[in-house]
A and B are shown apart, each in its own frame.
Chain A
C-alpha cells in the first residue's frame, strides 16, 4: 500500500509495506507511470487509485497529531496555504487560498537559491513588508535593495511579511500548529507573532493513514427547518 502527498514542488511517499520513513522526491522527478494507492494533493486523482482532497487530509492528520480539542492548524505549501480550525473536536472553520496566497513557499525557496541565502542563519526582523502574494511581493525586495538595504535584510522582511499574511489568513490565533516544508525554515517560523508548534511536512500523510484506518464520522440529520 503506497500513500502519497503530491505537493506542487515535492511529493511525500510512504510505502506501508516497508518499515521506513516517508521519502521526499521533487514532484518533477516522479516517474510518469508512478501511481499511489491512496493520495492527496496536486494531480492526486490522476496519480492514484483513490484520492482525498488536501483539506480533508490536513484535518485528519491534525486529529492524529494534536491532542488539544481547540486549535488552528495551518499548512503552508509551495503554491497555496490552507488552514483548519477545530473547536470542541469538530471542524469549525477552514480556508484554502490558492489565489491571493499563491506561490509563497515556492518563492521563499526560489529567493534562497537566487541570493544564495541560508535561512538558518538569518534572524527574524522587527519589521517586514505587507505581502499578500509571493509573486507580487517580490517587487518589495527589489525596491528595498535599490533603497540601500542588503539582500539578506530585504528577503528577511519578505519572509516575515509572508508569515504574517498566513497568520492573518488563519484567523490570527494565539497559538498555531504549522504543517509543511516551511516548518524547517527557522526564519519563517520565528516571523509569526504567536506561538508556533511545527509539525513537519508529513501531516497530510498522517491524514491518509487515518483515512486508511477508516475513521469516518457518522452522518447526522437535523430537524426540519
Chain B
C-alpha cells in the first residue's frame, strides 16, 4: 500500500529522496488541498496567524495521512515549530520535525525562465516533492521581479509579466537550500520588484527592509486572499514602471 505523507516547508533532500525511493505519495500541506473554510482551524490557532500555516493545520486535520514531516528552524520559521507541537498533540499519526540546513544548491533555472509566473511558482512548489530536479529551462532577461514566498493565493501572481524573475525564499526552495539567508536576501536593483510576504509572517520584516533598499520596489503583504487593492497596487506599480501587465 502506498504511504501518504504530508510535508510542510522544504524538508531535507535526504528525507525527500527516501520518500521518492519508497514510492510514497507526497502531499504539500502548505498549499490549499481541500475546499473547506479556514475558520475550521480556529480551535487550534489564533485567527491572526500566518494563512499558510492555518492552511497546513486545515489540511493536516482534514486529510487521511500516514505521517507528516514539518521543516522548522532557519529553513522555515518558529511559527511552524509551534504548529508542529499543536499537530503532535492533536493527531495520532507521527509528526516529525526536521531542520533543513542543506547548503548544496542545485540551481534555480525556473526562477529565471520565461513562463507565466503562476506556472513557474507551481512548478517550483511541485519540485519540492522531488529529490532530483527536472531538466532546466533556459533563462530570460528579466523585466520584473517577484521576491518572497509562494503566496497563499496564487491569484496574486496573475498580473506579473512572463519575464518576471523570482527571488527570495522561493528561489531558495528551488535551490533546495531553504536556510540560505544570503541567497534569500539577493535582489536585482535593475528591475522593478514586488517584495511580498504573507501577513503575520516574520519575513515581512526582511521584505520591507529589502524593499527600502531597492530603487524601484513595492512592499506587499497579503493574508488569506489577495484583495482588489493589493492587485491594483501591483497593476499600477508595473504600469507606472513601464512594464506591460497581464490582463
| Residues of chain A whose beta carbon lies under 8 Å from any beta carbon of chain B | 52-56, 59-60, 80, 84, 90-99, 216-225
Contacts and interface: CB of A to CB of B under 8 A. Distances in A.
Given A93-B218, A216-B242, A98 B229 contact: yes
B188 A225 contact: yes
Contact of B232 (A55, A84, A219): A55
Contact of B242 (A52, A60, A218): A218
B207 to A, nearest CB: 13
Interface in B202-239: 215-219, 227-229, 232-233, 235-237, 239
Contact of A225 (B190, B228, B244): B190
Given A221-B142, A222-B141, A94 B236 contact: yes
B39 to A, nearest CB: 19
Nearest to B189: A222
A224 B244 contact: no
Contacts of B140: 224
A225 B142 contact: yes
B70 to A, nearest CB: 31
Contacts, number: 89
Contacts of A54: 232, 236
19 contacts: A55-B232, A55-B236, A56-B235, A59-B236, A60-B240, A90-B216, A92-B215, A93-B219, A94-B218, A94-B236, A98-B229, A99-B227, A99-B229, A220-B190, A221-B191, A223-B190, A224-B139, A225-B142, A225-B191
A219 B143 contact: yes
Size class of B's contact patch? 20 to 34
Contacts of B218: 93-94
Contacts of B165: 225
B120 interface: no
A220 B141 CA distance: 10
Given A55-B232, A92-B216, A97-B229, A219 B243 contact: yes
B241 A217 contact: yes
A217 B233 contact: no
A219 B244 CA distance: 7
The 6 A-B residue pairs with the shortest CB-CB distance, nearest first, are A222-B190, A55-B236, A217-B242, A222-B191, A225-B188, A98-B229
A221 B233 CA distance: 21
A92 B240 CA distance: 10
A95 B139 CA distance: 32
A224 B236 CA distance: 24
Contacts of B152: none
A182 to B, nearest CB: 19
Given A98-B228, A222-B142, 20 more contacts: A53-B236, A56-B240, A59-B236, A59-B240, A84-B240, A90-B216, A90-B241, A91-B241, A92-B215, A95-B233, A96-B232, A217-B242, A219-B242, A221-B143, A221-B163, A223-B141, A224-B142, A225-B142, A225-B188, A225-B190
Contacts of B190: 220, 222-223, 225
B54 interface: no
B112 interface: yes
Given A53-B232, A94-B218, A98-B227, A221 B141 contact: yes
A217 B239 CA distance: 8
B236 A222 contact: no
Contacts of B235: 53, 55-56
Given A53-B235, A217-B241, A222 B188 contact: yes
A96 B229 contact: yes
Contacts of A91: 216, 237, 240-241
B240 A224 contact: no
A220 B229 contact: no
A94 B143 CA distance: 19
Contacts of A93: 217-219
Contacts of A222: 141-143, 188, 190-191
